[in-house]
């Protein structure tokens, strides 16, 4: 708990849940109580005279850093402060409290954002969040969908989205095969689809599951939501075969056109799926949401990344930013020592595998105390840049 001016900032007491949701739902799209209970969330709240004046829901997730490793992270649902109490440090105090209370449960605070030239973006940068990743919305105009598309989507099955829960053992390996070289998403593990299905987003939207089978086995799938606030939106798609990928897109596009909507998707240039969408006729939009992170336990993240490196037991490693000195690794019997000098937002990128350390050192964007070439090379391998891929599914 933290006292700030005349208000109290603390972790949500379960007895406060209904009052917190009532407050939050006055500011943002409503979350019903049953959905909240299924999300695995806590929250930080700011109260004054017994009334809630601010709240930040926090959802715990395993987040994929690269093809091999994931870390526990907390995603900030939204920072809400009552009008009249804004610009008084309430939001900053809540985030500082959140960083403290999750230290033993997660390694970073993360948030999906949009609008770089906004007060919201500046708020997150001010509170220690660094940019990690940019995505791009793509649009397939309804008028670009011709009648010949119907021949492309033969044998594409359509099911209610809820069917994904029972098919999870089939769907998760398909996703893994398609995006095995990537990070940047909510780790797809047992229970993932059940957790997402409980979302009010899908309950209200009438989402659909599309399947392609070969010799009776599911080989590709996609999920689209015609009732999303952003239109007929693809939430997930996984296919190793470009031809099958196009068949899935054709089926969703025809369904979108039938409803008088364009088909839209969130994608990025770091994966071949982006080019597949362009080949299908999608056009990039200006809207580019992104992921930001505030590192809470840099030592724990380094421990995960260095788990297969001898440096974990040999190298004492520190990072120095204009805001803090950070111990990344402190083995009991260290034989070497090194210090990285970088900016706070660069530290976020480094630890989330979003920086080419070797290039940053060569161009003096990041500096390091004198070490052998072998240690510098091994550190670059530990922090190796990972391509990321994201989908609208991860934004729930």
Report all structural domains of the chain as residue ranges with CATH numbers, in order of start.
2-132 (3.40.630.30), 137-287 (3.40.630.30), 297-382 (3.30.1050.10)
110 touches 292 (CB < 8 A): yes
In DSSP terms, 63 is beta-bridged to 71, 186
Other beta carbons less than 10 A from residue 300's beta carbon: 19
Residue 2 structure tokens: 């933290």
Q: What is the pLDDT at residue 205?
A: 63
**Which sign, positive or negative, has the C-alpha torsion 128, 131, 132, 137?**
positive
Residues 133 and 150: their CA atoms lie apart, in Å, by 36
Residue 127 structure tokens: 């509170």
Can you point out the beta strands (E) in the chain?
Answer: 2-4, 7-11, 41-48, 51-64, 70-76, 80-81, 108-113, 130-134, 136-140, 156-160, 208-214, 217-228, 231-238, 263-267, 283-284, 290-295, 315-320, 325-329, 336-341, 367-368
Residues 54 and 306: their CA atoms lie apart, in Å, by 38
Residues 276 and 232: their CA atoms lie apart, in Å, by 19
Q: Which residue's entry shows tokens 């006729």?
A: 281
The DSSP secondary-structure symbol of 190 reads T
Query: To 5 degrees, how large is the angle CA 243–CA 396–CA 78?
Result: 145
Residues 386 and 342: their CA atoms lie apart, in Å, by 19
Indicate the pTM of the whole model.
0.91
Mean pLDDT by 10-residue block, N- to C-terminus, for the chain (396 residues)? 69 94 90 84 91 93 94 91 87 94 96 79 90 93 87 90 92 95 94 79 76 95 87 93 95 94 93 94 88 96 97 98 96 97 96 97 96 96 95 84
- Cα distances from 256 to residues 229, 265, 280, in angstroms, run 14, 12, 15
Q: What is the pLDDT at residue 1?
A: 52
239 touches 248 (CB < 8 A): yes
Q: What is the pLDDT at residue 204?
A: 61
H-helix or E-strand containing 193?
helix 192-197
Q: What is the pLDDT at residue 94?
A: 94
Q: What is the pLDDT at residue 201?
A: 60
Residues 150 and 384: their CA atoms lie apart, in Å, by 44
Q: Which residue's entry shows tokens 């075969």?
A: 241
Listed in sequence order, the DSSP H helices in 199-322 are 200-205, 242-258, 272-279, 298-305, 311-314
The DSSP secondary-structure symbol of 384 reads -
270 touches 182 (CB < 8 A): yes
The string of DSSP codes covering 40-63 is: TEEEEEEEETTEEEEEEEEEEEEE
Residue 205 structure tokens: 């939207």
273 touches 283 (CB < 8 A): no
The DSSP secondary-structure symbol of 186 reads B
Collect all residues with Cβ–Cβ distance below 8 Å to 244 and sequence separation of at least 6.
212, 219, 220
3-state secondary structure (DSSP) of residue 39: coil
- Residue 29, burial from CB neighbour count under 10 angstroms (0-12, 13-18, 19+): exposed
With left for phi above 0 and alpha for psi between -120 and 50, is residue 23 left, alpha or beta?
alpha
Q: What is the pLDDT at residue 230?
A: 77
């Amino acid at each position: 708990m933290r006292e700030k001016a005349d208000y109290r900032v603390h972790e949500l007491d379960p007895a406060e849940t209904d009052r917190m949701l009532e407050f939050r739902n006055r500011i943002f799209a409503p979350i019903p109580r049953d959905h909240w209970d299924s999300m695995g969330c806590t929250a930080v709240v700011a109260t004054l005279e017994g009334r809630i004046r601010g709240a930040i829901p926090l959802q715990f997730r395993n987040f994929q850093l690269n093809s091999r490793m994931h870390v526990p992270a907390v995603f900030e649902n939204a920072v809400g402060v009552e009008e009249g109490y804004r610009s008084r440090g309430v939001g900053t105090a809540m985030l500082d409290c959140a960083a403290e209370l999750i230290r033993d449960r997660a390694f970073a605070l993360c948030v999906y954002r949009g609008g770089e030239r906004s007060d919201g973006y500046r708020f997150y940068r001010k509170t220690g969040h660094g940019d990690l990743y940019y995505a791009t919305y793509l649009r397939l105009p309804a008028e670009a969908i011709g009648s010949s598309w119907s021949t492309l989507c033969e044998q594409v099955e359509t099911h209610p989205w809820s069917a994904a829960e029972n098919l999870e053992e089939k769907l998760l390996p398909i996703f893994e095969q398609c995006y095995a070289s990537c990070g940047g998403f909510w780790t797809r593990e047992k229970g993932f689809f059940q957790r997402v299905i409980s979302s009010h987003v899908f309950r209200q939207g009438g989402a659909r599951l599309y399947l392609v089978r070969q010799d009776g086995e599911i080989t590709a799938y996609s999920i689209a939501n015609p009732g999303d606030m952003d239109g007929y939106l693809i939430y997930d798609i996984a296919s190793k075969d470009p031809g099958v990928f196009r068949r899935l897109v054709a089926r969703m596009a025809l369904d979108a056109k039938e409803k008088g909507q364009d088909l839209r998707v969130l994608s990025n240039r770091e994966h071949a799926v982006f080019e597949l969408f362009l080949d299908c006729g999608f056009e990039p939009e200006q809207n580019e949401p992104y992921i930001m992170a505030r590192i809470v336990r840099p030592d724990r993240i380094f421990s995960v990344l260095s788990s297969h490196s001898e440096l974990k037991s040999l190298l004492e490693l520190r990072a120095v930013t204009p805001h803090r000195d950070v111990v990344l690794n402190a083995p009991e019997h260290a034989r070497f020592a090194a210090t990285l000098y970088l900016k706070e937002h660069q530290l976020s990128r480094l630890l989330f595998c979003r920086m080419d350390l070797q290039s940053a050192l060569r161009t003096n964007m990041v500096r390091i105390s004198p070490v052998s070439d072998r240690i510098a090379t091994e550190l670059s391998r530990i922090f190796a840049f990972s391509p990321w891929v994201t989908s609208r599914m991860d934004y729930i």
